[in-house]
Amino acid sequence: MTRLDTAPEDTIVHDHDHGACVSGALARAEACCDVRGVRLTPLRRRVLGALADSHVPLGAYELVDRLGASGEKPPPMSVYRALDFLVAEGLAHRIESRNAYLACGREHGSEDVIVFLICERCGRAAEVASHAVGRDLAWATRAAGFTPRTPVIEIAGTCARCQSGAADEAAELTGAG
């Protein structure tokens, strides 16, 4: 697998209200944990905050480094445990093809399919809802007598930003900035 060029966050987040990405994920996590009677420990919160801060999925060791840069560096095993918790509670997803994690900002129904759009140029991953596909898959798997876990589809390609970014790149190369 080729290493994706992961731009520093502040260069790739100016197209939306990124503060809301982080605060929204944390608020949702706190509400979910309250309802379920599980604890969003300080480390779980830090891990989720770091994931929500990045639209590029992060591996466990990247997380350890990031957390270490902004505070006390946690042992990798603790980060793995926090990630297991976040994934089990549906607050984050593991992207198998990248061996990396992404914060989840939505509620998933039992018949949902999780669809990741993963950009091969900037490394960002986004989640889209696809209820119709989910229903079809649920029907097909049940017809086979199979009890599926939530299906996950990973689609690699080029994000809208990178498609429209060719012009920006040209402008940057001519050295306006």
β-pairing verdict for 125-129 and 114-119: antiparallel
In angstroms, the CA 112 to CA 133 distance is 8
Give the range of 24-32, 34-42, 58-66, 152-160 binding Zn ion by CB under 5 A.
152-160
* Piece in contact with Zn ion (CB under 5 A), picked from 24-32, 34-42, 69-77, 156-164: 156-164
When asked if residue 104 is in the footprint of Zn ion (CB under 5 A), the reply is yes
Provide the phi-psi class of 175: left if phi over 0, else alpha when psi is between -120 and 50, else beta.
left
> Tokens at residue 111, please?
């018949």
Q: Token pair of 19, please? A: 């503060």
Site for Zn ion contains 122 (CB under 5 A): yes
Rounded distance between C-alpha atoms, residue 66 and residue 151, angstroms: 30
Among residues 44, 53, 47, which one has the least CA distance to residue 18?
Answer: 53
Q: Which stretch binds Zn ion (CB under 5 A): 20-28, 65-73, 141-149, 166-174?
A: 20-28
Question: For Zn ion, which is the closer residue by CB, 74 or 82?
Answer: 82
Minimum distance from residue 104 beta carbon to Zn ion (Å) = 3
119 touches Zn ion by CB under 5 A: yes
Q: Which stretch binds Zn ion (CB under 5 A): 35-43, 77-85, 97-105, 136-144?
A: 97-105
Please choose, from the candidates 74, 102, 73, 65, the residue with its C-alpha nearest in 3D space to the C-alpha of residue 86: 102
- Residue 148: phi and psi, rounded to 5, are -85, 155
Instruction: Based on the shown chain and the rule CB under 5 A, indicate whether residue 94 belongs to the binding site for Zn ion.
Output: no
**Based on CB atoms, which residue is closest to Zn ion, 73 or 169?**
169
| Tokens linked to 164 | 């429209």
26 touches Zn ion by CB under 5 A: no
Q: Which of 121, 129, 133, 153 binds Zn ion (CB under 5 A)?
A: 121
Task: Catalog residues that contact Zn ion under the rule CB under 5 A.
Answer: 18, 21, 104, 119, 121-122, 127, 159, 162
